[in-house]
């Protein structure tokens, strides 16, 4: 499942880059994320709770930065599983930053997400909608961390 | 009156009568035992841990927590199975993932525990260390020069034919007759298109399952839902490295197959679990697992070009297919080869070329499914015949009649055609479908015709006359519900001139039954029926010898009479089978046993007329023929197609049991209807997105028209038992092509992609851009 | 430790049955694993296929979606225990004779749905039969012979 | 393992839900038990609502509308001959849910609580201007069906609350129906349309199902359309407003584009069906 989108923030690229590379900021922006633990320079662990109607899941995720071009591009991989509850999630992510005409930053993101196991049998469409919804929530939270709104 | 006191249903019964299947009784009473209904003393329940990855190396397992879980007795992984590999054409498959996983859903470990719930819970505690690898998710991607390779040791695998395997290319087949490239110049009309077909799930109502038990000597008894106890035996023994004599394979009642249960599913895993647990283990798949880890119909990409003269005479066809194999070869090389053999349809096409490639991908294995590659190519071919007819102003019947194969013609690359009732099939459909609907409105009519083989490989029959003169018939053929036990008993009874109910059919048992390749390829009535008829004939001969001695006359003067008697011609004196059998058992000669084995051995390929490379079936079978007409409605709002009326005619040589043939035609039509209109397995990346009956829909009673008319055409095959040919698959083949032709007529839009969903048909009617509505 | 079991008192095919079954078990699990009543089949465990259909207080329900704990005080009937029911016996005979039985895995559920239909509507149209059976998936017959059997049984019973 | 609790009053049910953290209310079971069988939900306790008499039955309200107990089975709704005119849409929707056997099990309260965007009741209830009666730890409250669905599978129902009844307001003089596009009989909707046409032929209420998180209803659009039902351009404009409200998914039942394409076609076709019915009558 491919999730893609973009958003703009009224903050310079350097600052946005710094926040995107800061696990604590990312953790606080990801909806449902309650703990973040830096593993090393390029990876961190996070626990994320997801709820779709009556279905609740809690994933232990490992986020690894595979490649980066400072202030421009990050390639990362998110992998994890749902404790002993039989779902596995993997995601290959690309985030690109660029300047906007008004001096802000445009963020483009693409994630190729796969969920298998018990939650992997759930309908395709709702996953996508849920992912879009979470992405929207992330943008709101992230902007807040940057101290900008809208 | 309760059922037990009902009028006897099995009165008499010979060839051509619609005898009710004896197993119907226990089925309507809820007493039939399927694999899930078997219990053994001390039996454990199994569950499977499936791979979450499409392609990954397995670097290790941690079973500590799972082994400590409540009720767990044994766990197996790839470490518990040797290097053995199984496969019908290419031996590429371990009993359970070993070293690598090749698709999401592939069994990685299995647990035996006291209850199914405990086994399932314990599976969640197994830790597998994976190293993910890039995945191949389409045949096109698999053929890229830098594609990840699924089977690194492909060149070392045992192959039963010249497969041409290389890289991710599992097999390739090339067939040709005449000079296709030169022939286009002779054509006045040429049509060319690319067609795609979707993966379809079998959805046998019974999910796959198995029960294995090991005796004190280490010998295994294995019950399973299957279409061949012998293929089960071979696959388990190959994959686990067991001598075949160490495994007895049996079958309870089977809740249908359609190809899904022909080759292995979880039998090897169940046996390995039982051997490790030293207790009987039963493993029954959930519906979701049955979707994800068994097999399905192949998606095809078909590039087809057909040319004809101005009078409609077909001149040339070129057909190239690209087939998604999934992770293991299974029956796929056979499906590819067969679809190419059939891609010309039942027509005279002097210049015909067919080539195809089968490519490994990181999806579940695709394999045998009713039709076996024929529906995919027919969807393309039958539309092109209509397109040519349209261009030349020839109606669908006319263009087909001008080109159909005639008596004495050979099929593409050379097989003999024993009998050909195609013309009569078309006549029946045309006659019944002519004119407008009852309300005077015009029909949206579509036609498709087809041929299908019945034959292939080894089979046998043992007919034993019991002391009282009744008969025990043992063939090893699994009745999967379609009624082959009934048909074979009818053939046996007919040959012995006995009432149907005096023949009992033994359940398949590798210990006691003669070899039978399987209930597949529309073959049991034809192939096993031949063996049964011959074996019964031998019992008659033996009985005649006894009777001659008992009546003190020459065998030539004797006749077999109805009801198990042999008498002297022109005289009332006779002896009964009971008298003969008693004599044989206790006094002279020994018990009467007739046996026959045979393998279909007429060559497929005639090297004088065709070039063939990588032909997986060197000896294939005899040909049945069929025609299907449909009259459809299209909902203006949604574009959804419904069938208003249908006419299905099939030449089955001789209908041993007309009602059972009729049900095959109805059942095949409805399964084909789902395939044509909405059934589709959808992948989201590497994950099957609709592995449940909530999301994957098959036709219900309300989706099927009442007016499906069937016509059984009998053009006896000279080699078939009483002239019979197969009927199991042919009723499905034609459905997508006939409906596509009707849609084209109703909407003026040709569709090259299956299924013909409301969405596609509406797009065809309105154009793909909604803003233009 | 075995899963916690709860004792339930059920009425099954007219007989009182006491059964210990895991708490939260479905009727399908209780019947099959604890009582070895096997005529209800597990075809999907999602309530879609209809192979587990049985009667509770004369109404067809999915055994796989019914909790055993909710069945106390209700009358459960399964196809294996209904041979004495004249309507069921007639339906069974027509299914045998019409060719409505192929693999048989769906057959018990089909008969249960048909039995209730004839209780509601003794002379159903073919359309009504199809509607009543639309929750019983059959992959073998194409439905035609099943509808024939139900209509045939209704006609015989009406005489 | 799930423990099954069977309270006999709404208050006890609410208390039990509050007491056990992983408890879930169980109505008919047609969806929830299927989800549990698939391990999608793993409640420690199921609070069964089937012994609560107050949740059963369809009764007339003083205003001339109906109170439908949350535990009313789909088959009861489908067979309720009193649901006529503008409420016929509800009967019709009930009769199209899944199949006869599942209709014997599933309940209106359970279906509404589950809030599946492709299920049949929500658009039908939206077309009826239904109100939900809700009980929870904070007491009882009422909520318009139009304010109920907040996002995909997310509703205004708070943790620990249950739906006790669905109330239909006083009926209006109208004829109504429900049309569903689905792959096969009994499938969830690819798209659906609940519509009621006033007896005077002037006003229309329309709710579209399966094209967004909840049913699509545009009351301003309906007001603007009033009296212009025989003007195809006005109807098309109204349908366009519904399309603009839609946020359909791409799934195995159809693409988002297909669903968008179906909305105006459903509106036109169902309107013409109701208009013809009126002319025949």
The CATH number of residue B582's host domain is: 3.30.365.10
B 210-249 near D (Cβ less than 8 A): none
- Whether the pLDDT of residue B4 is over 90: the answer is no
- What whole-number distance in Å separates Cα of residue B358 and Cα of residue B344? 19
pLDDT band at D92 (very low <50, low <70, confident <90, very high): very high
What residues in chain A have per-residue pLDDT under 50?
150
What value does the mean pLDDT take over residues B488-500?
95
**Is residue B487 within 8 Å of B661, Cβ to Cβ?**
no
pLDDT at A1: 79
- At B31-43, the pLDDT tens digits run 999 999 999 999 9
pLDDT at A123: 65
* Partners of B558 in beta bridges: B568
- At D115-164, the pLDDT tens digits run 999 999 999 999 999 999 999 999 999 999 999 999 888 999 999 999 99
% of chain D exceeding 70 in pLDDT: 100
- Whether the pLDDT of residue B451 is over 70: the answer is yes
Helices (H), B319-373: 332-342
What value does the mean pLDDT take over residues C48-60?
97
**β-strand pairing of B471-474 with B503-505:** parallel
B-C CB pairs within 8 A amount to 198
Residue B670 lies in a domain: no
* B482: nearest CB among C102, C131, C138: C102
Q: How far is CA B127 from CA A83, B64, B123, B165, in A?
A: 11, 9, 9, 35
pLDDT at B10: 35
Q: Measuring CA to CA, which residue among D38, D47, D58 is closest to residue D110?
A: D47
* A53: nearest CB among D153, D251, D252: D153
Unique residue bearing structure tokens 């949206």: B444
Query: Chain D residue with minimal CA distance to C132?
Result: D100
Q: What's the number of domains chain B is made of?
A: 2
- Chain D residues touching chain B at CB-CB below 8 Å: 34, 38, 99, 179, 181, 183-188, 190, 252, 254-255, 257-258, 260-262, 264-266, 269
Tell me which of D31, D39, D114, D260 to substitute to probe the interface with A (most A C-beta atoms closer than 10 Å).
D39
- What whole-number distance in Å separates Cα of residue A89 and Cα of residue A113? 7
In whole numbers, what is the pLDDT of chain B averaged over residues? 95
- At B156-187, the pLDDT tens digits run 999 999 999 999 999 999 999 999 999 999 99
What value does the mean pLDDT take over residues B115-133?
95
- What whole-number distance in Å separates Cα of residue B684 and Cα of residue B747? 31
Distance from CA of D107 to the nearest CA of C (A): 13
Residue B158 lies in a domain: no
Domain end call among B560, B579, B599:
B599
> What is the SS3 assignment for D140?
strand
> What is the SS3 assignment for B225?
coil
The three state secondary structure string of B596-654 is EEEECCCECCCCCCEEEECCCCCECEEEEEEEEEEEEEECCCCCCEEEEEEEEEEECCC
- Whether the pLDDT of residue B447 is over 50: the answer is yes
What value does the mean pLDDT take over residues B603-632?
94
pLDDT at C109: 98
Domain end call among B293, B310, B330:
B293
Distance from CA of D208 to the nearest CA of B (A): 14
The DSSP output letter for C32 is I
Find the angle CA(A124)-CA(B298)-CA(B58) to the nearest 5 degrees: 70
The dihedrals phi and psi of B294, each to the nearest 5 degrees, come to -100, -90
Class of domain C86-158: mainly alpha
> What is the SS3 assignment for B68?
helix
% of chain B exceeding 70 in pLDDT: 98
A86 — contact with chain B (CB < 8 Å)? yes
Query: Chain A residue with minimal CA distance to B50?
Result: A117
Tell me which of B69, B286, B701, B704 to substitute to probe the interface with C (most C C-beta atoms closer than 10 Å).
B701
Backbone angle region of B30, left / alpha / beta, with phi > 0 → left and psi within -120 to 50 → alpha: left
Distance from CA of D224 to the nearest CA of C (A): 40
**Is the CB of A130 less than 8 angstroms away from the CB of D152?**
yes
Unique residue bearing structure tokens 């968008």: D260
**Is residue D162 within 8 Å of D17, Cβ to Cβ?**
yes
Least confident of B295-304, B583-592, D118-127, D272-281: D272-281
D34 — contact with chain C (CB < 8 Å)? yes
% of chain C exceeding 70 in pLDDT: 98
Distance from CA of B288 to the nearest CA of C (A): 8
* A121: nearest CB among B53, B685, B691: B691
- What residue segments make up the domains of chain D, in order of their start? 1-47, 174-280
**Is the CB of A54 less than 8 angstroms away from the CB of D251?**
no
pLDDT at A87: 85
- What whole-number distance in Å separates Cα of residue B391 and Cα of residue B328? 43
CB under 8 Å to B512, separation ≥6 — which residues?
B474, B506
- What whole-number distance in Å separates Cα of residue B294 and Cα of residue B227? 14
The answer to whether domain D1-47 has CATH 3.30.43 is yes
What value does the mean pLDDT take over residues B121-132?
94
| DSSP per residue, A9-67 | ESS-HHHHHHHHT-HHHHHHHSTTEEEEEEEETTEEEEEEEEEETTEEEEEEEEEEEEE
Domain that holds residue B261: 36-135+202-293
C 53-72 near B (Cβ less than 8 A): none
The dihedrals phi and psi of C45, each to the nearest 5 degrees, come to 60, 20
D196 — contact with chain A (CB < 8 Å)? no
pLDDT at A150: 45
The CATH number of residue B249's host domain is: 3.90.1170.50
pLDDT at A129: 81
* C143: nearest CB among B30, B118, B670: B670
Q: Which tokens is C132 given?
A: 């009543």
**Is the CB of D38 less than 8 angstroms away from the CB of C50?**
no
B703 — contact with chain D (CB < 8 Å)? yes
What value does the mean pLDDT take over residues B493-521?
96
| DSSP per residue, B446-486 | EEEEEEEEEE-SEEEEEEEE-TTS-EEEE------SS-HHH
**Is the CB of A125 less than 8 angstroms away from the CB of D151?**
no
Helix axes B758-766, B735-747, angle to 10 degrees: 30
The DSSP output letter for D107 is B
What value does the mean pLDDT take over residues B71-83?
97
- What whole-number distance in Å separates Cα of residue B115 and Cα of residue B281? 10
Unique residue bearing structure tokens 């109607």: A53
The dihedrals phi and psi of B509, each to the nearest 5 degrees, come to -155, 120
Chains sharing 3 or more CB pairs under 8 A with chain D: A, B, C
**Is the CB of D42 less than 8 angstroms away from the CB of A54?**
no
pLDDT at B247: 98
CATH 1.10.150.120 domain locations along chain C? 86-158
Distance from CA of D156 to the nearest CA of A (A): 12
**Is residue B69 within 8 Å of B133, Cβ to Cβ?**
no
- What whole-number distance in Å separates Cα of residue B295 and Cα of residue B369? 9
The dihedrals phi and psi of A146, each to the nearest 5 degrees, come to -80, -5
Q: Which tokens is C130 given?
A: 């199809």
- Whether the pLDDT of residue B64 is over 90: the answer is yes
- Whether the pLDDT of residue B519 is over 80: the answer is yes
What value does the mean pLDDT take over residues B194-222?
98
Residue B288 lies in a domain: yes
CATH 3.10.20.30 domain locations along chain C? 5-80
Cis peptide before B301 (omega within 30 of 0): no
pLDDT band at D8 (very low <50, low <70, confident <90, very high): very high
Unique residue bearing structure tokens 């294996």: C80
Query: Chain D residue with minimal CA distance to B767?
Result: D261
- Whether the pLDDT of residue B9 is over 50: the answer is no
**Is the CB of C70 less than 8 angstroms away from the CB of D101?**
no
Identify the helix (H) or strand (E) that includes residue D66: strand D66-69
CATH topology for the D174-280 domain: Enolase-like; domain 1 (3.30.390)
**Is residue C17 within 8 Å of C30, Cβ to Cβ?**
no
Q: Measuring CA to CA, which residue among C19, C30, C24, C26 is closest to residue C4?
A: C24
- What whole-number distance in Å separates Cα of residue D107 and Cα of residue D71? 5
Q: What residues of B are in contact with residue D183 (Cβ under 8 Å)?
A: 678, 697, 757-758
Residue B620 lies in a domain: no
Domain end call among B275, B293, B311:
B293
First to last CA, chain B: 63
Give the rounded distance of the alpha carbon of C124 from its chain centre: 19
- At B690-727, the pLDDT tens digits run 999 999 999 999 999 999 999 999 999 999 999 999 99
pLDDT at C2: 52
Longest dimension (CA), chain B: 93
- What whole-number distance in Å separates Cα of residue B496 and Cα of residue B502? 10
- At B558-605, the pLDDT tens digits run 999 999 999 999 999 999 999 999 999 999 999 999 999 999 999 999
Q: Which tokens is B1 given?
A: 């009156």
pLDDT at A84: 67
C5 — contact with chain B (CB < 8 Å)? no
Q: What residues of B are in contact with residue D260 (Cβ under 8 Å)?
A: 770
Q: What residues of B are in contact with residue D188 (Cβ under 8 Å)?
A: 694
* Partners of A91 in beta bridges: A78, A113
- What whole-number distance in Å separates Cα of residue B229 and Cα of residue D14? 56
Unique residue bearing structure tokens 């574009």: B639
Helices (H), chain C: 27-29, 86-98, 107-120, 126-132, 144-158
The dihedrals phi and psi of B622, each to the nearest 5 degrees, come to -100, 165
> What is the SS3 assignment for D193?
strand
**Is the CB of D1 less than 8 angstroms away from the CB of C59?**
no
Give the rounded distance of the alpha carbon of B533 from its chain centre: 23
Residue B81 lies in a domain: yes
- What whole-number distance in Å separates Cα of residue B687 and Cα of residue B50? 12
**β-strand pairing of B169-177 with B189-197:** unpaired
* The model's pTM: 0.95
Q: Measuring CA to CA, which residue among A25, A56, A44, A53 is closest to residue A118?
A: A56
Structural domains of chain A in order of their starting residue, each with its CATH number: 2-146 (3.30.530.20)
The arrangement of secondary structure in C5-80, i.e. its CATH architecture, is Roll (3.10)
* A54: nearest CB among D24, D213, D247: D24
pLDDT at B11: 37
- At D106-115, the pLDDT tens digits run 999 999 999 9
pLDDT at D137: 96
What value does the mean pLDDT take over residues B280-306?
97
């Amino acid at each position: 499942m491919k999730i893609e989108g973009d958003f703009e923030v009224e903050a310079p690229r350097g600052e946005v880059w710094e926040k995107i590379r800061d696990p604590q900021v990312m953790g606080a922006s990801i909806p449902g994320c309650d703990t973040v633990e830096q593993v090393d320079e390029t990876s961190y662990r996070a626990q994320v709770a997801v709820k779709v109607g009556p279905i609740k899941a809690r994933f232990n995720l490992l986020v690894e930065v595979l490649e980066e071009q400072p202030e421009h591009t990050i390639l990362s991989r998110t992998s994890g599983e749902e404790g002993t509850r039989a779902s596995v999630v993997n995601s290959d992510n690309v985030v690109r930053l660029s300047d906007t005409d008004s001096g802000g930053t445009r963020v483009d993101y693409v994630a190729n997400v796969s969920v298998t196991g018990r939650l992997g049998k759930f309908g395709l469409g709702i996953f996508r909608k849920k992912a879009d919804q979470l992405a929207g929530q992330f943008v709101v939270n992230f902007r807040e961390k940057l101290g900008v709104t809208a | 009156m309760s059922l037990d006191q009902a009028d006897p249903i099995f009165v008499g019964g010979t060839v051509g009568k619609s005898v009710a299947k004896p197993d119907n009784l226990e089925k309507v009473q809820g007493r039939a035992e399927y694999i899930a209904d078997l219990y053994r003393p001390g039996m454990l329940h199994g569950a499977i841990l499936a791979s979450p990855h499409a392609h990954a190396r397995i670097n290790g397992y941690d079973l500590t927590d799972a082994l400590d879980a409540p009720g767990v007795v044994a766990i197996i992984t790839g470490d518990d199975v040797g290097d053995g590999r199984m496969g019908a054409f290419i031996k590429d498959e371990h009993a359970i993932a070993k070293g690598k996983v090749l698709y999401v859903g592939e069994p990685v470990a299995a647990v035996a525990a006291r209850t199914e719930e405990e086994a399932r819970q314990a599976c969640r505690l197994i830790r597998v260390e994976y190293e993910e690898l890039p995945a191949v998710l389409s045949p096109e991607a698999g053929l890229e020069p830098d594609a990840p390779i699924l089977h690194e040791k492909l060149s070392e695998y045992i192959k039963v034919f010249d497969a041409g395997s290389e890289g991710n290319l599992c097999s390739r087949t090339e067939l040709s007759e005449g000079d296709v490239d030169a022939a286009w110049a002779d054509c006045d009309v040429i049509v060319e298109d690319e067609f795609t077909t979707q993966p379809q799930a079998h959805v046998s109502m019974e999910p796959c399952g198995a029960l294995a038990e090991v005796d004190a000597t280490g010998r295994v008894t294995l019950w399973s839902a299957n279409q061949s106890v012998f293929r089960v035996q071979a696959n388990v023994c190959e994959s686990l490295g067991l001598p075949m004599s160490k495994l007895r394979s049996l079958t309870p009642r089977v809740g249908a197959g359609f190809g899904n249960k022909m080759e292995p599913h979880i039998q090897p895993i169940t046996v390995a679990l039982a051997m490790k647990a030293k207790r009987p283990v039963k493993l029954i798949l959930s519906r979701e697992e049955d979707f994800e880890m068994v097999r399905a119909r192949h998606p095809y990409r078909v590039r087809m070009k057909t040319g004809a003269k101005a009078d409609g005479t077909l001149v040339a066809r070129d057909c190239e297919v690209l087939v998604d194999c999934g992770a293991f070869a299974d029956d796929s090389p056979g499906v590819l080869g067969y679809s190419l053999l059939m891609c010309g349809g039942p027509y005279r096409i002097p210049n015909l070329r067919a080539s195809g490639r089968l490519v490994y991908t990181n999806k579940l294995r695709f394999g045998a499914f009713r039709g076996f590659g024929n529906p995919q190519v027919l969807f393309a071919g039958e539309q092109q015949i209509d397109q040519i007819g349209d261009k030349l102003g020839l109606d669908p019947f006319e263009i087909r009649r001008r080109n159909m194969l005639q008596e004495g013609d050979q099929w593409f690359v050379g097989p003999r055609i024993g009998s050909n009732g195609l013309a009569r099939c078309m006549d029946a459909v045309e006659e019944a479908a002519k004119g407008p609907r009852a309300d005077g409105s015009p029909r949206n009519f579509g036609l498709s015709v087809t041929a299908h083989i019945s034959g292939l490989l080894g089979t046998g029959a043992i007919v034993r006359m019991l002391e009282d003169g009744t008969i025990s018939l043992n063939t090893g053929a699994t009745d999967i519900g379609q009624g082959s036990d009934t048909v074979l008993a009818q053939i046996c009874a007919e040959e012995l001139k006995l009432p149907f109910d005096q023949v009992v059919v033994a359940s398949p048992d590798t210990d006691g039954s003669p070899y039978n390749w399987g209930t597949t390829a529309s073959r049991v009535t034809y192939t096993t029926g031949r063996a049964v008829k011959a074996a019964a004939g031998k019992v008659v001969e033996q009985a005649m010898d006894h009777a001659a001695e008992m009546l003190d006359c020459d065998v030539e003067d004797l006749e077999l009479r109805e009801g198990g008697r042999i008498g002297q011609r022109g005289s009332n004196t006779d002896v009964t089978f009971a008298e003969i059998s008693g004599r044989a058992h206790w006094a002279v000669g020994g018990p009467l046993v007739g046996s026959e084995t045979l393998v279909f051995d007429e060559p497929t390929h005639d090297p004088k007329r065709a070039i063939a490379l990588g032909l997986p079936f060197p000896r294939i079978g005899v040909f049945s023929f069929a025609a299907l007409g449909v009259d459809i409605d299209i909902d203006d709002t949604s574009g959804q197609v419904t069938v208003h009326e249908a006419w299905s005619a099939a030449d089955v040589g001789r209908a041993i049991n007309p009602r059972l043939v009729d049900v095959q035609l109805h059942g095949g039509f409805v399964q084909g209807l789902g395939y044509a209109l909405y059934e589709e397995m959808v992948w989201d990346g590497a994950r099957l997105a609709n592995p449940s009956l909530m999301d994957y829909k098959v036709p219900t009673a309300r989706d099927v028209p009442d007016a499906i008319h069937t016509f059984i055409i009998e053009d006896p095959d000279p080699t078939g038992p009483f002239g019979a040919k197969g009927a199991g698959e042919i009723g499905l083949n034609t459905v997508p092509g006939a409906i596509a032709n009707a849609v084209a007529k109703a909407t003026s839009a040709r569709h090259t992609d299956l299924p013909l969903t409301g969405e596609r048909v509406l797009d065809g009617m309105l154009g793909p851009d909604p803003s233009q509505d | 430790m075995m899963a916690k079991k709860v004792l339930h008192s059920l009425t099954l095919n007219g007989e009182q049955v006491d059964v210990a079954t895991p708490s939260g078990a479905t009727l399908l699990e209780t019947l099959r694993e604890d009582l070895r009543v096997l005529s209800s089949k597990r075809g999907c465990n999602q309530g879609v296929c209809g192979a587990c259909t049985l009667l509770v207080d004369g109404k067809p329900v999915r055994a796989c979606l019914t909790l055993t704990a909710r069945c106390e005080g209700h009358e459960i009937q399964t196809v294996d225990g209904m041979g004495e029911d004249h309507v069921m016996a007639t339906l069974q005979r027509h299914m045998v004779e019409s060719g409505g039985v192929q693999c048989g895995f769906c057959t018990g559920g089909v008969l249960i749905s048909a039995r209730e239909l004839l209780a509601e509507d003794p002379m159903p149209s073919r359309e009504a039969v199809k509607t009543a059976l639309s929750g019983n998936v059959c992959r073998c017959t194409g439905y035609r012979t099943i509808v024939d059997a139900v209509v045939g049984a209704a006609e015989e019973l009406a005489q | 393992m799930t423990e099954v609790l069977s309270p006999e009053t709404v208050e006890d049910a609410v208390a039990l839900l509050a007491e056990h953290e992983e408890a879930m209310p169980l109505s008919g079971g047609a969806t929830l038990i299927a989800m549990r069988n698939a391990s999608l939900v793993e409640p420690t306790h199921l609070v069964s609502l089937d012994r609560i008499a107050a949740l059963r039955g369809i009764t007339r309200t003083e205003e001339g509308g109906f109170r439908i107990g949350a535990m009313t089975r789909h088959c009861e709704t489908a067979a309720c001959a009193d649901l006529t005119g503008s409420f016929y849409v509800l009967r019709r929707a009930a009769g199209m849910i899944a199949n006869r056997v599942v209709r014997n099990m599933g309940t209106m309260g359970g279906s509404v609580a589950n809030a599946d965007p492709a299920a049949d009741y929500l658009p039908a209830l939206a077309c009826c201007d239904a109100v939900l009666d809700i009980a929870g730890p904070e007491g009882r409250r009422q909520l318009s069906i139009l304010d109920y669905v907040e996002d995909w599978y997310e509703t205004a129902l708070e943790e620990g609350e249950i739906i006790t009844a669905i109330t239909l307001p006083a009926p209006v003089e109208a004829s109504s129906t429900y049309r569903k596009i689905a792959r096969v009989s009994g499938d969830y909707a690819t798209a659906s349309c609940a519509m009621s046409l006033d007896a005077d032929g002037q006003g229309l209420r329309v709710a579209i199902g399966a094209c967004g998180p909840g049913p699509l209803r545009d009351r301003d659009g309906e007001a603007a359309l009033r009296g212009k039902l025989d003007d195809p351009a006005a109807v098309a404009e109204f349908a366009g407003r519904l399309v603009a409200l839609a946020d359909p998914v791409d799934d195995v039942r159809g693409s988002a584009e297909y669903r968008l394409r179906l909305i105006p076609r459903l509106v036109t076709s169902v309107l013409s069906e109701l208009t013809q019915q009126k002319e025949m009558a």
